[in-house]
Structures are given as C-alpha cells and as structure tokens.
C-alpha cells in the first residue's frame, strides 16, 4: 500500500515535466513473494526493478550514426510499459564498424545529444538505460535486412552509403560469398580500435547512460578475433586461446578504466558458433566457460549469453531452450568454482512462463536476467501482460491507471 500524496510531483533529474513513476512501472507490489522475474537486482550502485531487459535491437534507422525521434519512440515505449532496463542497439565505435549505413554510432560528439534525449526519457519513467558498443568487422557494409526481398544482408556499395573496400577483420576471411573480403587489421589499427571503444564509452557516460555493454557476439569483430575459424593471425592476437581473447580483454580494460567505478559493465558473447560439426577448432561452450572465469577480475558485472552468427555454415539446435541452456551451463560452471558472475539469457523468450522459469531461483535456473527482443516488438507491454498472466500485481504507469487490473489497483492505491 502507498500513502496518499495530493501532489502530482514531477520526475526528478530530467529536463521536462512528467509525473514521477514511484515506484517504476513493472515493479512488483510485494517483491518478496513475487517470482524472481519481478524481484529487483542490484548491479554495483544501481538497482533494476525487475529482471526483464529490452535486448539491443538494430533498427537500421540512424542518420549518419545519429539516432532520431524514431528511436525515442521505439525505445521509450518499453520504459513506459515497465521494462527494468532498456539497451540501445549495437552502436558503432567508428564509421566502418557499422553493420549498415543506417546503424547507430558514437564515434563523434554530435551523436551524444540524440542519445541523451533518449536516456532522459527512459529516466523520466524511472527505468535504467544502457547502450551496446560494437564493431561489425567483416560483417559491415550491408543493407538493411528488409531491402532486396529475400536477399539477406546484401552488400551495400558506395552508391548506397557502403564501404565494401574498407571492411576490416582479424584476417582476410569473408563471412560469406555475398559479404566483403575484409582487410587484415594491422597492430596499430587494433590499438586504435581498442581506443575507439574507450572513447565511445566516455561519450556514453556523457550521454547519461547507467550501464554499457560490449558486443562480443554474433560474428562481429570481437567474435571474429575469438574464433580460430575467422582469426588466422600468427601474431599476439591469433593462434592460442590467450592470444585470440587478447583484443577483447584489452577493450574491457580500456572501457573499465574510463567509466565510473559505480557503472556496471556488461559483455555479450556467442557461447558457441555452432560449428562443432566442421571437424576443426571453433569457438565453443568450453571456450566460453574458460573466458567467463576471467571476466570478474576484469570488472565485468554481467555476461549476456547468446550464440552463433560467425559462420554461414552454422548448424543451430532448433529447440526452445537452445540458447538458455548455454547460459545455464556457463552459470553452473562458474558457480561450481565459486564465481558469482551475473548471467543474462536470450533466445525465444516469448512467453511469461518461460521467462519466469529461466530466472527462477532454485531448481533449473539458467540465468539471473532475461533479455527479450522479438517479443517486445510484438508486445511492447510484455512486462505488464506477463505479470498479469503470472498473477503478479505490478505497478502500471500512473497515467494508465484507469486501465490497470483490479489487483494492481488494490495493491498500489489506498
């Protein structure tokens, strides 16, 4: 129950008036009795009011790396409807690091202000904001996926804003026949890219983000360094496991060094590239567990576990838990060594019961957080609807009080 307050006070800390959401939409009326999915989670000095995270989703809608009013509406709706954390899509640390010419970027100061506007709105709804910093590597300079009918990720040429002659990677090995052959990065260029991640992280701090995620998954540049299938280097960045993870570890160290101690730092990886069938060394679950054990010592707070995306010949399992099982195996291996790294799970999380079970403490718990993408596109109010289906009274946006379920009205009103 909340105490009666006649004021319609505004949300503090934002540059415009909007009624304060106290508590935030999506907060459980009684967290102690709620399923883990609707319990708060502390990350350094921050607290998420539930475990439902809006996963970064490329929208191919930016203007030379600058986000627009489209992104404000797209991302703002998830905060309005109760998500615990909203993560801005993969944001390139340099122009040639974009997947498409219309990708988000943070390589110049002019890109800060559009992001700050989005962060301010997310904060106005008492929701935390994060951004995913990325470099597309050899999968860069492609068209938006809906262009060209059935053609997926067709190469964008110079006439359409692309840079097929300036795509880079650890080695000159193309992702597929319809992608550019990357130029092998020099040692100086590698160090320049490490610096670009740190510089973009500083801009993210200036934009007001609460958290940063490093994108090391889905076959983009960091994944390409990790995998022996795409990394054929014979210097300190190729060959052994220790050499192949060096680029990632240097990025983590560079980013952690320039962001506040209080700011959580996340990492997304592909736990396997699903190429075990190829009969040659690849990045697999065992490699991911080995990497995961290094992360807490480097200042990583959350490991976001996805999979695939580095080889056109991948053979994924086609079962609902194909990705959440990977998260569970990594989490179990860490716990067995008394390593308490928070784990996020993704993949086919499209039903309230499944989301609940993935993070429910005890039993077969796979993760501590769920990151949801497609279901939020289908159902922007997934947090509120899932709570109703699970029988969990959660706060609705104050302005939507006339539509809230009866149990919510009783739980949050005098």
Residues 91 and 133: beta-carbon distance below 8 Å:
yes
CA distances from 246 to 138, 218, 315 (A): 18, 18, 27
Distance of CA 243 to the CA centre of its chain: 25
78: tokens are 């998830």
Distance of CA 16 to the CA centre of its chain: 28
Dist. CA 171–CA 406, nearest whole Å: 60
Dist. CA 98–CA 63, nearest whole Å: 12
Helix pair angle (285-292, 324-336), 10° resolution: 50
Tell me the backbone φ, ψ of residue 363, rounded to 5 degrees: 65, -125
224: tokens are 């390409």
Q: Which stretches within 178-323 are classed as H helix?
A: 187-207, 221-226, 241-244, 246-258, 285-292
Concerning whether 220 is annotated as a catalytic residue, the answer is: yes
Burial class (CB in 10 A: 0-12, 13-18, 19+), 9: exposed
296: tokens are 């807490």
Dist. CA 315–CA 347, nearest whole Å: 16
Q: Which residue, among 121, 110, 44, has the nearest Cα to 86 in the 3D structure?
A: 121
187: tokens are 């040692």
Could you tell me which residues are beta bridge partners of residue 53? 85, 371
Residues 211 and 130: beta-carbon distance below 8 Å:
yes
Q: Which residue, among 82, 91, 24, 32, has the nearest Cα to 53 in the 3D structure?
A: 82
From 220, 237, 322, 400, the catalytic residue: 220
Query: Which residues are known catalytic residues?
Result: 220
């Amino acid at each position: 129950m909340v105490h009666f307050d006649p004021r319609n006070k505004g949300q503090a800390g934002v540059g415009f008036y909007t009624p304060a959401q106290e508590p935030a939409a999506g907060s459980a009326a009684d967290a102690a009795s709620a399923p883990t999915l609707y319990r708060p989670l502390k990350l350094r000095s921050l607290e998420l009011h539930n475990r439902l995270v809006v996963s970064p989703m490329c929208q191919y809608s930016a203007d030379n790396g600058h986000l627009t009013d489209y992104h404000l509406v797209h991302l703002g709706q998830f905060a309005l409807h109760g998500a615990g954390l909203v993560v801005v899509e993969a944001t390139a640390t340099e122009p040639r690091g974009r997947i498409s010419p219309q990708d988000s970027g943070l390589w110049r100061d002019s890109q800060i202000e559009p992001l700050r506007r989005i962060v301010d709105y997310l904060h106005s709804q008492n929701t935390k904001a994060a951004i995913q910093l990325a470099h597309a590597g050899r999968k860069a300079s492609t068209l938006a996926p809906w262009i060209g009918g059935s053609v997926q990720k067709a190469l964008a040429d110079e006439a359409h804003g692309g840079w097929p002659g300036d795509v880079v990677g650890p080695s000159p090995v193309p992702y597929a026949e319809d992608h550019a052959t990357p130029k092998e990065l020099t040692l100086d260029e590698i160090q320049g890219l490490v610096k670009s991640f740190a510089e973009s992280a500083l801009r993210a701090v200036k934009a007001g983000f609460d958290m940063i995620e490093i994108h090391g998954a889905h076959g983009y540049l960091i994944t390409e360094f990790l995998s022996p299938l795409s990394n054929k280097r014979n210097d300190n960045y190729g060959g052994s496991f220790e050499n192949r993870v060096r680029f990632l570890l240097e990025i983590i160290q560079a980013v952690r060094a320039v962001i506040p101690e209080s700011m959580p730092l996340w990492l997304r990886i592909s736990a396997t590239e699903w190429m075990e069938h190829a009969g040659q060394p690849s990045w697999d679950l065992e490699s991911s567990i080995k990497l995961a054990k290094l992360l807490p010592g480097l200042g990583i707070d959350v490991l976001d576990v996805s999979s695939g995306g580095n080889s056109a010949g991948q053979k994924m399992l086609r079962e609902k838990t194909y990705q959440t099982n990977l998260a569970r195996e990594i989490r179990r291996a860490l716990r067995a060594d008394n390593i308490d790294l928070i784990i996020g799970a993704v993949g086919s999380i499209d039903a309230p019961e499944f989301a609940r079970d993935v993070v429910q403490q005890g039993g077969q718990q796979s993760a501590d957080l769920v990151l949801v993408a497609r279901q939020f596109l289908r159902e922007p109010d997934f947090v509120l609807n899932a709570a109703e289906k699970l029988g969990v009274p959660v706060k609705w946006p104050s302005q939507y009080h006339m539509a809230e379920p009866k149990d919510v009205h009783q739980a949050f009103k005098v």
